[in-house]
Amino acid sequence: MCSYVSYNEELVGSVYANGEWMTIRKGVVGIEHPIHASIEHAIVLDLREGTGDPSARVAVELDPASARTLAESVLAALDRT
Amino acid sequence: MSNDAMTARTITIRGHNKQEVEAYIAQPVDRGPSAGILVFHHMPGYDRETKEVCRTFATRGYTALMPNLFHRYAPGAKWPDAAAAAREAGGVPDEQAMGDGYGAIVHLRSLADHNGKIGVIGYCSGGRQTYLAACTFDVDAAVDCYGGGVVIDSPEQLTPQRPVAPLDKTADLSCPVLGLFGDQDHSPTPAHVAKLEAALKEHGKDYDFHMYEGAGHGFFSVDYPNYHREASRQGWREIWRFFEKELSA
């Protein structure tokens, strides 16, 4: 599936990777062939610093079922606040 | 002893709107005039594996040139970051991909030992771009490897970046087409392939389609999970046969 589907969202938050915290301002969600995960299609999520540096991001590739489970957990957690 | 020597390197070509675009070129050594092959990389990006494909063409006596369609979204970045930047931008517009492809064709034709023939091959999204290029430019052979979106299911799939279904340009197809597909693929499905075949037949075009049983999308891709050894082996055999027939001077 070469879906070309992507959603760009403004975000407020931070990510932690490789021993460093990074403030993020942008998220990009798509469904595509993943580069690393050994599955045919993945929800690909880029959490970006939003400064224009293409490498200033944390990339996530989730199989669609995992992505749905995670999304439902996020919504469930939000509903308890 | 056969000569499979080749050289490969990164160069800069003039692509869409005369912009500088990174490209990977692999050329045979001491083989005399060679046909040029424009390679459209797959959606994951301008990666190690697709460069290996270019080098494989060169070992067989072809000059392969692959523009990095994601280059301008993140010049100098690592290829996964460039692919992500292109996704953030909504994907590569067809007009831009064709401009970069045309720049590669111009470069191939300018090489001193070019034999006058141009082939095009692409994988995944590159298969779609290959079909579009073959309907846009005067080339000698095209290989569509599981190009998704050549046939669309509804007009809602058309976007400003991709305003036309390549299927609808079939009347303009300039060359024979080899199509290599898997019967387990979700895009293109066997039904999409059948629709494309019907259009080619209707327009009296020269085509040769192969549908490999048990193979899914990306069956040539050695670095990805759908690599299918038998489909890949048979597909490569068809590619060599087809290019030998269509690209000899």
Query: What residues of chain A lie within 8 A of the CB of B88, using their CB?
Result: 6, 8, 28, 46, 48
Counting runs of H as helices and runs of E as strands, what totals does chain B give?
Answer: 6, 8
**A1 — pLDDT class (breaks 50, 70, 90):** low
Q: State mean pLDDT over A61-79.
A: 97
pLDDT in tens, B116-144: 999 999 999 999 999 999 999 999 999 99
| Cβ atoms of B117 and B138 closer than 8 Å | no
**A5 — pLDDT class (breaks 50, 70, 90):** confident
| Cβ atoms of B23 and B107 closer than 8 Å | yes
**A20 — pLDDT class (breaks 50, 70, 90):** very high
CA distance A69 to chain B (A): 23
Say how far apart CA B83 and CA A55 lie, in whole Å: 11
pLDDT in tens, B176-189: 999 999 999 999 99
Q: State mean pLDDT over B98-113.
A: 97
Name the 3-class secondary structure at B152: coil
Q: State mean pLDDT over B50-75.
A: 98
Asked if A9 reaches chain B (Cβ–Cβ under 8 Å), the answer is: no
Among B236, B11, B128, B1, which residue's Cα sits nearest to residue A1? B128
- The predicted complex's ipTM stands at 0.93
Asked if A2 reaches chain B (Cβ–Cβ under 8 Å), the answer is: yes
* B180: β partners: B145, B210
> H-helix or E-strand containing A11?
strand A6-17
| Cβ atoms of A40 and B216 closer than 8 Å | yes
Q: Do A55 and B81 touch (CB under 8 A)?
A: yes
Q: Do A57 and B81 touch (CB under 8 A)?
A: yes
| Cβ atoms of B122 and B147 closer than 8 Å | yes
Q: State mean pLDDT over B216-245.
A: 97
Say how far apart CA B169 and CA A18 lie, in whole Å: 48
How much is the pLDDT for B53? Answer: 98
Say how far apart CA B54 and CA B89 lie, in whole Å: 27
Q: State mean pLDDT over A7-14.
A: 96
Place of tokens 């879906």: A3
Q: Do B159 and A4 touch (CB under 8 A)?
A: yes
Place of tokens 């990339």: A59
CA distance A15 to chain B (A): 17
Q: Do A55 and B218 touch (CB under 8 A)?
A: no
> H-helix or E-strand containing A65?
helix A64-79
How much is the pLDDT for A2? Answer: 74
Kindly report the backbone phi and psi dihedral angles of residue A20, in degrees, each rounded to the nearest multiple of 5, phi listed first: -130, 145
Q: Do B87 and A32 touch (CB under 8 A)?
A: yes
Task: Give yes or no for residue B103 having a pLDDT over 70.
Answer: yes
Token pair of A31, please? 């469904």
Say how far apart CA A54 and CA A48 lie, in whole Å: 8
Closest chain A residue to the Cα of B147, Cα to Cα: A2
pTM of the model: 0.96
Q: Where are the alpha helices (DSSP H) in chain B?
A: 48-59, 79-88, 94-110, 125-134, 190-202, 229-247
Among B131, B135, B154, B153, which residue's Cα sits nearest to residue B143? B131
How much is the pLDDT for B1? Answer: 67
Name the 3-class secondary structure at B30: coil
